[in-house]
Chain A
């Protein structure tokens, strides 16, 4: 993380794009202080919000941990430098795509200063492309290959290193104030196996601190967090060549809302919104490389995803059925219906 302290080209794009940056670090810091001051005091002058929010005391409380549901039989994944299976030379060009946020239902844009909201809105990946080797991608493998359905926990620090292609400040511990997001964690599962390929899936809970460093130089400046619902990954390992032939890690878009935004804006407290992002993904290689592979053993993708989700959420022991199937199921079983209707998703971090 130390590499990101101070002004340099690895900063989030919103800083990298400030035209005056070329003048020098000192001027930038001074400008930053002025901007931070303006941003902090902007709401006093212009915001018309609920009284209760305008008078709310700032939170000094960090959210407590939410227990995960990791099974006692789920071991740590690979923790070494290079996994023995990756004995070939992987050189995978991974492209990043990250599109803007939709307008949120909670209208965060009306409650925070435009320059602050722009930090969420004008998002771009820190590194549009990056080359990943067997050393970088070993983190997604288990210690030993056993059988389809085996689960393992990923090394959070090494996962975070990959996430820095999106943005320099990913956290594997959720810190956004004023909410109880899903538990920390990152898990992998062996989805399919053949003599030629391993198909690995993973699910990662992470959060990005969007606060510019120059905000942090001044007390009572806003703090910003961008929390994806989760990131879902796929890795195709070529067992013959000992290489990773395909890698993808991205935000799911199956639900209407998939990102939570938090702004801690002293002295008002927290502001939140849930938004939709169409694309937030890293992808490299050929996803079709294993098409036609006759898997010796496999799980369907939804089945693998459900097992990964269960490592985070005990409540998924409830036998949920899709809403459009519930009435038919109730009629067949002659059981009443319990239906939860929610503002945001139950089984991810967006709500």
Chain B
């Protein structure tokens, strides 16, 4: 994801223009939540393995999210163990990660 979707210049521009962005490891956000951080509490309680991209209002209310396994289905073969474990069938419909992401962002922004 870091080398693909999040390294695309137009995706980076879209994120920087439309969002305040943050990333954090689940262990660290859990610790932050235990200290009482309200955003961390929301993130920790809604996280699913292995990567969630969550979209929240400026007040910190969770609206929607994308999960790397559930929503970005056409994964690079090298990231699976063994390689190709999550490969889609040849006849499956494919959508680029960029399209999945940008479509989701547009729906989220239209609703906020």
Interface range for B: 35 or more
- Which residues of chain B come closer than 8 Å to A342, judged between CB atoms? 23-26, 50-51
Interface range for A: 35 or more
The interface bits of chain B over 53-65 (1 if a CB of A lies within 8 angstroms of the residue's CB, else 0) are: 1111111100100
- With A177-B83, A256-B27 already in contact, the answer to whether A336 and B58 are too (CB < 8 A) is yes
Please give the distance in Å from B64's CB to the nearest CB on chain A.
11
Instruction: Tell me what chain B mostly uses at the interface: helix, strand, loop, or mixed.
Output: mixed
- Which residues of chain A come closer than 8 Å to B88, judged between CB atoms? none
Q: Give the interface centre of A61, A257, A317, A331 by most chain B CB atoms within 10 Å.
A: A317
| B43 contact from A320, A325, A335, A339, Cβ within 8 A | A339
Q: How many A-B residue pairs have CB under 8 A?
A: 192
Instruction: Tell me what chain A mostly uses at the interface: helix, strand, loop, or mixed.
Output: loop
Q: CA–CA, A322 to B28, complex, Å?
A: 11
Please give the distance in Å from B15's CB to the nearest CB on chain A.
5
- Which residues of chain A come closer than 8 Å to B15, judged between CB atoms? 318, 338
Chain B residue nearest in CB terms to A105 = B27
- Which residues of chain A come closer than 8 Å to B108, judged between CB atoms? 336
Binding site for A on B (CB under 8 A): 2-3, 6-7, 9, 12, 15-16, 18-29, 31-32, 37-40, 43-44, 47, 49-60, 63, 76-85, 108-109, 112
Binding site for B on A (CB under 8 A): 52, 56-59, 61, 63-64, 66-67, 69, 105, 177-180, 182-183, 255-257, 269-272, 313-315, 317-327, 329-331, 333-347
